[in-house]
Structure 1
Amino acid sequence: MLSNAIYTDLSGYYDLMCADIDYRAQSHCIHRLQQLLGNGGNRHLDLACGTGPHVRHLLDAGYQSSGLDINQPMLDLALVRCPEASFSLQDMCGFSLSQPVDLITCFLYSIHYSANIERLRACIASVHDALATGGLFCFNAVDKNRIDNGAWVSHNVGNAEGDFSFSSGWHYSGAGEQQSLKLRIERTAAEGRTAWLDEHAMVAVSFSELVELLQPYFEVQLLEHDYQTIVPWDRASGNALFVCVKM
């Protein structure tokens, strides 16, 4: 089982790091897709669920929602947020369920934590095995060939412990099956400034390669990475929402 230490060490700051994410809009979009394209069932599993915000929204929408993650501190926080849900410490590249589910999600580009193509292939196979017929697998991904190595996304947020600055950026060398996600977290408080730097090894894959991996198991559609509307991917942007129906 792989591990990302920064998410374990800084699990208490994870929700601050993701404070700019509209979890409600993402969850509502996936609910609409499940009604339109999936089997309409309400059994849901969130891969790499973190502290459980998507699980919370889907529970509130009437789903029997559950989650898995490889970091126990994240799961501990998720259980506080969603005491009626079930959570398990499992690797998304080799998990199993006692009962099939109707909807599997993997948000925040977490599919790339598979780290390499072989593990990504195993993740896709595990998802297929866990889904009921007609079930839906939804995730977002970035195309390795459209990564701008100089682009960073940042936001600032404060709480009782200080003022935080969170920055992240993708980097791809242009060859091979690995890219990296670079993270920088700074906290400014009365006692001074603290910084954490990390670089995660992520699987690098083009959208065409990803579709090829998925097609033996699913009917695949690519949508624009816009959770307010449901429109086909424009074939130009580097981010897309993958919507996969189990055949």
Structure 2
Amino acid sequence: MSVNALYTDLSGYYDLMCVDIDYQTQSNAICRLHQLFGNDGTTHLDLACGTGPHVRHFIDAGYISSGLDINQPMLDIAATRCPEAHFSLQDMSHFEVSEPLDLITCFLYSIHYTDGIEKLKACITSARRALTTGGVFYFNAVDKEKIDNGLFVKHTAKQADEEFTFHSGWHYSGQGEKQSLRLSIEKASTDATQIWNDEHPMVAVSFMELTALLTPYFEVHVFEHNYETITPWDNVSGNAIFVCVKR
């Protein structure tokens, strides 16, 4: 068995690592929320789009969809999955668009990749600037005050004659504006087992702090982290969906 640090480029493992994610249900839920809170427009941008699975579903739902990410190999896969979409290599903390948008999304807790309050503020500002009047900024988030460092998500997937086991979990020290996403990948074959470990620095923020950052620019609606139903946040759970309408 060998143990190594996981290289930064996850593009080769990304789709396998996310194989249990129901991208269609997530996309459908945000389409419904956009119908309720949006301006009836159909131009869409997905921040931290990865390999483009959400973009694919938004295109299929009738949106003129695009995506951005800081990882070019992932964007190359996204362009193959969604040849009709435009993808750009940009940092979501400071991004530009050519035309105002009706909907901006950021799935899979990727808003936390802003890695610090100042970059989070810059992302919020960039999103507001990119949206047309009445446009909607959607993302999901985790409250730093509700993180349990002992919890993690695990799933396995097979590819050819190899079995992969993926672990991921949040870690927060209890103070400050930084938390981390800890990841590990175990690849087992008949000959050997390899394990890669990685830790991504991410911004830590409470929902109270997050709402305060958003309110000057958006009308903020917070919902339970459930893509099957639209339920207002109960002020207790540590994961939530934010739907922010540009003022």
Q: TM-score, normalised by structure 1?
A: 0.96
Cα distance in 2 for partners of 1:44, 1:7 equals 31
Question: Corresponding residue for 2:198?
Answer: 198
CA gap 1:122/1:7 in 2 versus in 1, 3 angstroms: farther
Cα distance in 2 for partners of 1:70, 1:154 equals 26
**Quick check: 185-194 or 205-214, which moved more?**
185-194
Q: Does 1:113 align with 2:113?
A: yes
What SS does the aligned partner of 2:227 have? coil
User: Structure 1: which 4+ aligned runs deviate by more than 6 Å?
Assistant: none
Question: Per-residue displacement from partner, 1:222-247 (whole Å, max 9, x unpaired)?
Answer: 10000010010011111000000001
Partners of 1:96 and 1:126 within 8 A in 2: yes
Partners of 2:9 and 2:71 within 8 A in 1: no
Q: Compare relative contact order (CA 8 Å, sep 6+) and give the higher one, 1 or 2.
A: 2
Question: Corresponding residue for 1:26?
Answer: 26
Question: Per-residue displacement from partner, 1:64-95 (whole Å, max 9, x unpaired)?
Answer: 00000000000000001000000000000000
One-letter code of the match for 2:12? G
The answer for unaligned runs of 5 or more in structure 1 is: none
Q: TM-score, normalised by structure 2?
A: 0.96
Cα distance in 2 for partners of 1:7, 1:209 equals 32
Q: Count the aligned residue pairs.
A: 243
One-letter code of the match for 2:154? S
One-letter code of the match for 1:208? M
Q: Output aligned runs, 1:13-162, within 5 Å.
A: 13-160=13-160, 162=162
User: Identity of aligned pairs, percent?
Assistant: 67
Partners of 1:48 and 1:70 within 8 A in 2: yes
One-letter code of the match for 1:242? F
One-letter code of the match for 2:29? C
Question: Aligned-residue CA RMSD in angstroms?
Answer: 1.2
Please state how far the C-alpha of 1:194 moved relative to its aligned partner. Answer: 1.3
CA gap 1:39/1:7 in 2 versus in 1, 3 angstroms: farther
